[in-house]
Amino acid sequence: MADFPSEPNSPLPPQAAPEWKWVRSALLVVLALIFWALVLFLNYLRALRWAGVINAESSGYMLGGCIFSGLLALLVVYLVNRWRAAKFSMVTKHVLIAAIAVIFSVLSLSGERTSRNTQSEAKQKIAHLLKQASGQEAIPSHSEWYDEPTRQFFRDIISLNQGYTQELDMPHRTNLKGLYNTASYSSLNKMHETVSELKSILAIDRKYESVGPILSKFENAINGTSASEKQKYDFIEGVHSSSRELFDLRSRTFQNSEEWLQASIDLYEFTIAHFRDYSVRENKLVFSTGSLLTEFQERQTRAIALRDSLREARAQFKSAQNASMERTGMSDELAPLLRSDK
């Protein structure tokens, strides 16, 4: 029997290598798709944890997270491949980029969880400090360096708002309920009472308009603590950045109120000065001259327009207040303490 030569190291048949290469590439593509699906899912969870709901804003946040993770992964693979002698194939690059993007997405989700926990703790802290400031909760024996200045800040805000509401006493200002109707111009005594009420409210607004003294007092209290200069600076800046928009809206609302009040005072002082130059007929004011009628209409139109602008400013301010209280986890029970509704 003839001997056949033994060739243990002989290559596979020519067809086997291409077939295995095709199967390997297909598996890598599937694996890359699975990784990208994980990236999308992890960023979906991150966006949901960030916003609490998936909407247009949080969808953008999710997409941004996917792109950011992908770009970082692309950079890592590019740097590694640049220094390798044997370069990665295109399919391998895609798998590595997707896998590394998963790692970055996991880290981002973990960071978002830590951030949410920190925000939750901060909200609880603020709610406790407000309760302590209002006397609804006992002050603990152990406090952070910023606790007492913050409690005092809340006390001052509460006192400001309560004082403003009490001095306004809007339920008893009956003359303002019929402002600008024909009957409000029919009596000289009634118009004098209306002007007196408007001037009283204007004086009260000017008294309570500024929160500057409260903020200065708060800053002095923080600067008087034993914390480091950086801690004090960061804390004060944090308070300013979180409250700046709200205080700016409050200031603009008071300015709108003062403009409206002054325009209304001018209107009623005009009708008082010209009381003998008009009469009330069929629920209308009839002036002795056309020029007086024109001036009255211009003054009243301006006063009503300013009142409407004030209402819009108040609605915007209240909306900002509600959003701010929601961000800090303020309960319905505590929220009225920081409001100064007119």
Q: Provide the residue type at 324 as one letter.
A: S
First CA to last CA across the chain, in angstroms?
114
Is the pLDDT reported for residue 302 higher than 90?
yes
* Confidence category of residue 298, pLDDT binned at 50, 70, 90: very high
Pairwise pLDDT comparison (125 vs 183), residue with the higher score? 183
- The stretch 128-150 carries a mean pLDDT of 85
Rounded to whole angstroms, the Cα distance separating 282 from 324 reads: 50
Tokens of 179: 């402002």
Q: Which residues, in sequence order, are bridge partners of residue 279?
A: 286
The phi, psi pair for 280, rounded to 5°, reads -100, 120
The rounded percent of the chain whose pLDDT value lies above 70 is 83
* Confidence category of residue 113, pLDDT binned at 50, 70, 90: low
309 Cβ neighbours under 8 A, 6+ residues apart: 256, 260
Nearest one of 239, 224, 233 to 157, comparing CA atoms: 239
pLDDT computed for residue 339 by the predictor: 53
In this prediction the pTM is 0.62
pLDDT computed for residue 342 by the predictor: 53
- Extents of the domains making up the chain: 18-120, 147-338
For 270-282, write each residue's pLDDT tens digit. Answer: 999 999 999 999 8
For 160-210, write each residue's pLDDT tens digit. Answer: 988 998 998 877 788 888 899 999 999 999 999 999 999 999 999 999 999
Pairwise pLDDT comparison (117 vs 299), residue with the higher score? 299
pLDDT computed for residue 224 by the predictor: 94
Is the pLDDT reported for residue 313 higher than 60?
yes
For 208-262, write each residue's pLDDT tens digit. Answer: 999 999 999 999 999 999 989 988 988 888 888 778 888 888 999 999 999 999 9
204 Cβ neighbours under 8 A, 6+ residues apart: 164, 167, 168
User: CA-CA distances (angstroms) from residue 227 to 139, 214, 235, 251?
Assistant: 20, 21, 10, 31
Of 1-15, 56-70, 122-136, the one with minimum mean pLDDT is 1-15
- The stretch 297-303 carries a mean pLDDT of 97
